[in-house]
Chains A and B, each alone.
Chain A
Amino acid sequence: QKEVEQDPGPLSVPEGAIVSLNCTYSNSAFQYFMWYRQYSRKGPELLMYTYSSGNKEDGRFTAQVDKSSKYISLFIRDSQPSDSATYLCAMITSYGKLTFGQGTILTVHP
Protein backbone atom coordinates (compact mmCIF):
# COMPACT_ATOMS: atom_id res chain seq x y z
CA GLN A 1 0.00 0.00 0.00
CA LYS A 2 1.30 3.44 -0.93
CA GLU A 3 1.70 5.98 1.85
CA VAL A 4 -0.29 8.55 -0.15
CA GLU A 5 -3.15 7.59 -2.45
CA GLN A 6 -4.57 9.99 -5.03
CA ASP A 7 -7.13 9.13 -7.70
CA PRO A 8 -5.38 9.83 -11.04
CA GLY A 9 -8.64 10.60 -12.80
CA PRO A 10 -8.90 11.99 -15.40
CA LEU A 11 -11.59 14.33 -14.12
CA SER A 12 -13.59 16.39 -16.62
CA VAL A 13 -16.00 19.12 -15.49
CA PRO A 14 -17.87 22.01 -17.14
CA GLU A 15 -16.77 25.58 -16.57
CA GLY A 16 -18.19 27.00 -13.35
CA ALA A 17 -18.41 23.65 -11.56
CA ILE A 18 -17.06 23.01 -8.07
CA VAL A 19 -14.15 20.58 -8.23
CA SER A 20 -13.15 18.29 -5.39
CA LEU A 21 -9.71 16.65 -5.42
CA ASN A 22 -8.76 14.19 -2.71
CA CYS A 23 -5.87 12.31 -1.15
CA THR A 24 -5.74 9.75 1.62
CA TYR A 25 -2.66 8.77 3.58
CA SER A 26 -1.64 6.02 5.93
CA ASN A 27 1.35 7.51 7.80
CA SER A 28 0.18 9.39 10.89
CA ALA A 29 3.58 11.15 11.01
CA PHE A 30 2.52 13.42 8.13
CA GLN A 31 2.03 16.86 9.66
CA TYR A 32 2.27 19.35 6.78
CA PHE A 33 0.14 19.23 3.65
CA MET A 34 0.46 20.86 0.27
CA TRP A 35 -1.28 21.05 -3.06
CA TYR A 36 0.63 21.73 -6.26
CA ARG A 37 -0.70 22.53 -9.72
CA GLN A 38 1.27 21.34 -12.74
CA TYR A 39 0.58 22.50 -16.27
CA SER A 40 1.72 20.37 -19.18
CA ARG A 41 5.51 20.49 -19.72
CA LYS A 42 5.98 22.70 -16.65
CA GLY A 43 7.13 22.19 -13.08
CA PRO A 44 4.69 21.93 -10.15
CA GLU A 45 3.57 25.25 -8.69
CA LEU A 46 2.72 25.49 -4.98
CA LEU A 47 -0.97 26.36 -4.49
CA MET A 48 -1.71 25.69 -0.84
CA TYR A 49 0.29 24.83 2.28
CA THR A 50 -1.28 23.95 5.59
CA TYR A 51 -0.36 22.14 8.79
CA SER A 52 -3.51 21.96 10.85
CA SER A 53 -6.82 20.21 10.54
CA GLY A 54 -9.59 22.37 9.14
CA ASN A 55 -9.99 24.62 6.13
CA LYS A 56 -7.70 27.16 4.52
CA GLU A 57 -9.05 29.42 1.82
CA ASP A 58 -7.22 31.36 -0.90
CA GLY A 59 -9.43 32.93 -3.52
CA ARG A 60 -11.30 30.18 -5.37
CA PHE A 61 -9.25 27.46 -3.68
CA THR A 62 -9.96 25.81 -0.32
CA ALA A 63 -7.71 23.20 1.23
CA GLN A 64 -9.24 20.89 3.81
CA VAL A 65 -7.35 18.61 6.17
CA ASP A 66 -8.88 15.92 8.39
CA LYS A 67 -6.03 14.33 10.34
CA SER A 68 -8.33 11.99 12.24
CA SER A 69 -9.48 10.41 8.98
CA LYS A 70 -6.10 10.89 7.24
CA TYR A 71 -7.79 12.66 4.37
CA ILE A 72 -7.09 15.93 2.57
CA SER A 73 -9.04 17.72 -0.12
CA LEU A 74 -8.69 20.66 -2.47
CA PHE A 75 -11.87 22.42 -3.60
CA ILE A 76 -11.93 24.72 -6.62
CA ARG A 77 -14.95 27.01 -6.89
CA ASP A 78 -16.17 28.50 -10.17
CA SER A 79 -13.69 26.40 -12.12
CA GLN A 80 -12.17 27.91 -15.25
CA PRO A 81 -10.57 26.35 -18.35
CA SER A 82 -7.27 27.80 -17.09
CA ASP A 83 -7.57 25.46 -14.07
CA SER A 84 -7.02 22.48 -16.41
CA ALA A 85 -3.84 20.87 -15.11
CA THR A 86 -2.54 18.01 -13.00
CA TYR A 87 -3.00 18.53 -9.26
CA LEU A 88 -0.54 16.88 -6.88
CA CYS A 89 -1.00 16.48 -3.17
CA ALA A 90 2.16 16.31 -1.05
CA MET A 91 2.84 15.70 2.61
CA ILE A 92 5.78 16.16 4.96
CA THR A 93 6.42 14.28 8.18
CA SER A 94 7.62 16.01 11.32
CA TYR A 95 11.12 14.76 10.48
CA GLY A 96 11.13 16.21 6.96
CA LYS A 97 10.22 13.29 4.70
CA LEU A 98 8.21 14.52 1.71
CA THR A 99 5.87 12.24 -0.25
CA PHE A 100 3.77 13.08 -3.30
CA GLY A 101 0.52 11.60 -4.53
CA GLN A 102 0.33 10.38 -8.13
CA GLY A 103 -1.52 13.47 -9.32
CA THR A 104 -5.06 13.99 -10.66
CA ILE A 105 -5.54 15.21 -14.23
CA LEU A 106 -8.30 17.85 -14.37
CA THR A 107 -9.93 19.24 -17.50
CA VAL A 108 -12.40 22.12 -17.29
CA HIS A 109 -14.26 22.50 -20.57
CA PRO A 110 -16.01 25.70 -21.68
Chain B
Amino acid sequence: DGGITQSPKYLFRKEGQNVTLSCEQNLNHDAMYWYRQDPGQGLRLIYYSQIVNDFQKGDIAEGYSVSREKKESFPLTVTSAQKNPTAFYLCASSNEGSSNQPQHFGDGTRLSIL
Protein backbone atom coordinates (compact mmCIF):
# COMPACT_ATOMS: atom_id res chain seq x y z
CA ASP B 1 0.00 0.00 0.00
CA GLY B 2 1.36 3.42 -0.93
CA GLY B 3 1.27 6.03 1.75
CA ILE B 4 2.93 8.09 4.42
CA THR B 5 3.99 6.47 7.68
CA GLN B 6 4.62 8.52 10.79
CA SER B 7 6.09 7.10 13.97
CA PRO B 8 5.69 6.94 16.83
CA LYS B 9 1.97 7.63 17.20
CA TYR B 10 2.50 9.08 20.70
CA LEU B 11 5.68 10.62 22.09
CA PHE B 12 6.58 12.15 25.43
CA ARG B 13 9.37 14.66 25.93
CA LYS B 14 11.18 15.56 29.11
CA GLU B 15 12.41 19.08 29.80
CA GLY B 16 15.64 19.85 27.94
CA GLN B 17 15.34 16.82 25.69
CA ASN B 18 15.44 16.67 21.90
CA VAL B 19 13.06 14.22 20.24
CA THR B 20 12.84 13.07 16.63
CA LEU B 21 9.64 12.28 14.75
CA SER B 22 9.87 9.93 11.80
CA CYS B 23 8.15 10.35 8.44
CA GLU B 24 8.54 7.88 5.57
CA GLN B 25 6.69 7.87 2.24
CA ASN B 26 6.59 5.31 -0.57
CA LEU B 27 4.60 7.46 -3.00
CA ASN B 28 7.74 8.56 -4.86
CA HIS B 29 6.81 12.16 -4.09
CA ASP B 30 9.43 14.85 -4.47
CA ALA B 31 8.16 17.26 -1.84
CA MET B 32 7.63 16.66 1.86
CA TYR B 33 6.25 18.89 4.61
CA TRP B 34 5.89 19.12 8.38
CA TYR B 35 2.91 20.81 10.02
CA ARG B 36 1.91 21.46 13.56
CA GLN B 37 -1.79 21.32 14.46
CA ASP B 38 -3.13 22.98 17.61
CA PRO B 39 -6.81 23.18 18.59
CA GLY B 40 -8.53 26.12 16.92
CA GLN B 41 -5.44 27.11 14.90
CA GLY B 42 -5.54 24.85 11.90
CA LEU B 43 -2.29 23.60 10.35
CA ARG B 44 0.88 25.67 10.51
CA LEU B 45 3.88 24.89 8.32
CA ILE B 46 7.14 24.12 10.14
CA TYR B 47 9.53 23.03 7.36
CA TYR B 48 9.31 21.78 3.82
CA SER B 49 11.60 20.12 1.32
CA GLN B 50 11.16 20.09 -2.44
CA ILE B 51 14.17 17.91 -3.20
CA VAL B 52 16.72 15.70 -1.46
CA ASN B 53 19.38 17.58 0.53
CA ASP B 54 17.41 20.82 0.43
CA PHE B 55 14.77 22.24 2.77
CA GLN B 56 13.25 25.60 3.72
CA LYS B 57 11.76 27.09 6.85
CA GLY B 58 8.03 27.46 7.08
CA ASP B 59 6.04 29.87 9.21
CA ILE B 60 7.02 28.46 12.63
CA ALA B 61 10.48 26.87 12.23
CA GLU B 62 12.02 28.14 15.47
CA GLY B 63 12.89 25.29 17.81
CA TYR B 64 12.71 22.64 15.09
CA SER B 65 15.20 21.07 12.69
CA VAL B 66 14.91 18.67 9.74
CA SER B 67 17.03 16.69 7.31
CA ARG B 68 16.31 15.24 3.88
CA GLU B 69 19.03 12.71 3.10
CA LYS B 70 16.71 10.37 1.22
CA LYS B 71 13.70 11.02 -0.99
CA GLU B 72 11.53 8.74 1.15
CA SER B 73 12.40 10.18 4.54
CA PHE B 74 11.96 13.59 6.22
CA PRO B 75 12.53 13.37 10.01
CA LEU B 76 11.66 16.29 12.28
CA THR B 77 13.59 17.03 15.47
CA VAL B 78 11.85 19.02 18.18
CA THR B 79 14.66 20.64 20.12
CA SER B 80 14.77 21.86 23.70
CA ALA B 81 14.55 25.40 22.28
CA GLN B 82 10.90 24.76 21.40
CA LYS B 83 9.21 25.88 24.60
CA ASN B 84 5.69 24.81 23.75
CA PRO B 85 6.06 21.54 21.85
CA THR B 86 2.79 19.89 22.90
CA ALA B 87 0.83 19.46 19.66
CA PHE B 88 -0.22 17.06 16.92
CA TYR B 89 2.49 16.86 14.23
CA LEU B 90 1.57 15.98 10.68
CA CYS B 91 3.84 15.02 7.81
CA ALA B 92 2.68 15.42 4.21
CA SER B 93 4.01 14.88 0.72
CA SER B 94 3.11 15.97 -2.79
CA ASN B 95 4.15 15.06 -6.28
CA GLU B 96 5.78 18.39 -7.10
CA GLY B 97 6.96 20.88 -4.55
CA SER B 98 6.34 24.16 -6.26
CA SER B 99 3.15 23.48 -8.16
CA ASN B 100 -0.53 23.09 -7.51
CA GLN B 101 -0.50 19.44 -6.49
CA PRO B 102 -2.51 18.58 -3.36
CA GLN B 103 -0.71 17.26 -0.32
CA HIS B 104 -1.30 13.85 1.20
CA PHE B 105 -0.92 13.32 4.93
CA GLY B 106 0.25 10.70 7.38
CA ASP B 107 -1.69 9.91 10.55
CA GLY B 108 0.35 12.15 12.80
CA THR B 109 2.40 12.00 15.97
CA ARG B 110 1.02 13.44 19.20
CA LEU B 111 3.80 14.95 21.30
CA SER B 112 3.32 15.73 24.97
CA ILE B 113 5.52 17.09 27.74
CA LEU B 114 6.25 14.93 30.78
Contacts and interface: CB of A to CB of B under 8 A. Distances in A.
Interface string A25-55: 0000001101010000111111001010000
A44 B90 contact: yes
Contact of B105 (A6, A8, A41, A44): A44
A24 to B, nearest CB: 14
A65 interface: no
B45 to A, nearest CB: 8
B41 interface: yes
A88 B45 CA distance: 15
Interface residues of B, number: 21
B103 interface: yes
B99 interface: yes
Interface in B98-114: 98-100, 102-108, 110
Interface of B: 4, 6, 40-43, 45, 90, 92, 97-100, 102-108, 110
25 contacts: A31-B100, A36-B105, A41-B107, A42-B107, A42-B108, A43-B6, A43-B90, A43-B92, A43-B105, A43-B106, A43-B107, A43-B108, A44-B90, A46-B103, A46-B104, A49-B102, A51-B100, A88-B42, A88-B43, A90-B102, A92-B100, A95-B98, A96-B98, A96-B100, A98-B45
